[in-house]
Structure 1
Amino acid sequence: KPYGIPVEKSFLEHREKSVVLEELGLAPDKFTVLLMGGSFGAGNIKDTLKELLEIDRDFQIIVITGRNETLKEKLEKSLEKYTIDKNISILGFTQDMNDILSAVDIIVSKPGGLTTTECLLKELPMIIPYYIPGQEEENMDFLSNCGAALRTSKKFTISVLLKVLIDNPTRMELLKNNIKSIKKQNTAEDIANLVSNILGY
């Protein structure tokens, strides 16, 4: 049964976007990119952030390094060397993923199972620049073939893909509509009902 990963209903509730972004020191009305690589900060986040900083568009960035405190320190130190024209908020492990996913416009991340599930529920388009071979590669193939995410390549870099989405809001809407067509809304309830039916309750 392709029910998907169960997520609490409370995950669908979130605080106002403007409140969340202002708490992070960011503008409430600016295009916002979330960069992350899972709870342990996997993926080449440092190089990806550098690439994002070089894109000549007006947007702001949230970076989540998860439990990888060393990565967080390295990123903060590396930013001191640059003249930056973008607002950046770097967070370690956070309990506010629900609010943050609802406050950003796009996520740049590896396609882990839980990350993918949560992004689909939030109708949040993904750009996928890296993945762990195996399940995550299959997730990437599924999402890109469904038109719910964009995968990078030598020709279609993060810079190219992000510029297209910022310059063409209709492309963003297309991604979101494709996500709506595949997301699983009541997974936990459906699984519970399946178990109940099997047990004859």
Structure 2
Amino acid sequence: MPEKIRVLILSTSAGTGHIRAAEALEKVFLEDSRVGQVECVDALKFTNKIFRDFYSKLYIQLVDTAPSFLGWWYRTTDEPWKTDKMRLMLDRLNTQPLIDFISAYRPQVTVCTHFLPAEIISYLISQKKIDCRLSIVVTDFHCHAMWLCRVFHRYFVANEESRIHLVNLGIPAERIVFSGIPIDPLFKPSKNKKEMKKNMGFDPDVPVILVSAGALGVSPAEIILESLESLKISLQIVVVCGKNVQMEEKIRKQIPKLSNHAIRVYGFSTEIHKLMDAADILIGKPGGLTASEAMAMGLPMIIIAPIPGQEEFNSDFLLEKGVAIKCNEFTTLAYKVNYLLTHPQILQQMRKNAFKHSKPDAAYKIVQILLDDELNPPMPVCLNPEQKERT
């Protein structure tokens, strides 16, 4: 009887999309009888506090206080192989406990949903310090240069454009899989939206607007509610504040001042898939995971305040595919919501587009390929970026 496969999934808590993608993969790996053990780990837990704050808290602070700087940084560093040596030196200075953990665990399959652990493992393989197969799962619709590793076995990307981008950078085409972004298998729509609305305690004949602040609660939700107050048609509005307790408290205090619509407020919710199923429109930021979940549910989006950098690229993708519209000014948000609700044929087409471009089984596809690889393990790809050649 063959030995059960040990799987290591590594991510970081810089934002929550990377973690959610890792958890989706973990759930699917555990369903397969070939797998004996799965460890799903936040790589930042193995680093010191200064380094953790740099990768997680600083990011959120920049989103909140200096988004323009974040956008500048994103674009400046998005040049293939420009900063990999500097980043690797910095990461190795702070991640020795992570190296020790990987060496002790001895994974056969290693999957990274964030570039930090990916580049560490890539280096360790190149130095023959560990023996495992490294696969990199890109969790946005644009493959930023930070995701590039010199040594790896497979890349899984969100769309065909990212696949072509990597091919033209010299990544062997046969090692790149257009899989989509892995999401929890729970994100499957019911057959009857009105029935789901009833099950969730909504009036089935009144539109449901889902306002997503993201799991970290970085969102202008208060302004959104004020904007929607001017709508004369009845709405049922659900605001999900994530882990931002202060925002949740502010919204709850704001509700008595608003009278035109029924409003519900959630903190961090494990039922977001049910809320998406009941909703007619999602208003929020275009994070890679949120957008992928919404598309899997056939839920049209109104994009607001995308974070400069990766969310702007995500926004471009969603607009191009016809699954979202963008609101550049909050003064026009009510108008855009009203337009979609009074033009059901447009809303229905957006719903069809969302289903068409969704990849709800991405996690299953990734897991199947990686476990099948164990029957005939591929050799690692070793790139020489200076020569810009394939090896």
Q: Given the two structures, how large is their TM-score scaled by the length of structure 2? A: 0.47
CA offset digits 1:100-135 (Å, max 9, x no partner): 110110100101111111001001000011111121
Aligned to 1:116: 291
Name the CA shift for 1:144/1:185 in 2 (closer, same or farther; >3 Å): same
Aligned to 2:227: 51
Distance in structure 1 (CA, Å) of the matches to 2:298 and 2:225 = 23
Aligned to 2:278: 103
Aligned to 2:256: 80
Q: Given the two structures, how large is their TM-score scaled by the length of structure 1? A: 0.89
Aligned to 1:17: 196
* Equivalent residue letter for 2:239: V
Q: Retained in 2: the 8 A contact 1:20–1:100?
A: no
Q: Tell me the percent identity.
A: 29
Q: Retained in 2: the 8 A contact 1:21–1:27?
A: no
How many Å apart are 1:154 and its aligned residue?
A: 4.3
Aligned to 1:71: 247
Write the mapping of 1:97-176 to structure 2, written as runs, cut at 5 A: 97-154=272-329, 157-176=332-351
How many Å apart are 1:186 and its aligned residue?
A: 2.0
Aligned to 1:6: 182
Name the CA shift for 1:110/1:183 in 2 (closer, same or farther; >3 Å): same
Distance in structure 2 (CA, Å) of the matches to 1:18 and 1:147 = 25
* Equivalent residue letter for 2:197: S
Q: Retained in 1: the 8 A contact 2:206–2:235?
A: yes
Unaligned runs of 5+ in 2: 1-176, 377-391
How many corresponding residue pairs?
A: 197
Greater RCO, 1 or 2 (C-alpha within 8 Å, sep 6+)? 1
Larger radius of gyration, structure 1 or 2? 2
User: Normalized per residue, which structure has more strand?
Assistant: 2
Name the CA shift for 1:156/1:139 in 2 (closer, same or farther; >3 Å): farther
Unaligned runs of 5+ in 1: none
Write the mapping of 1:170-189 to structure 2, written as runs, cut at 5 A: 170-189=345-364
Pairwise CA RMSD:
2.1
Distance in structure 2 (CA, Å) of the matches to 1:150 and 1:169 = 14
* Equivalent residue letter for 1:40: L
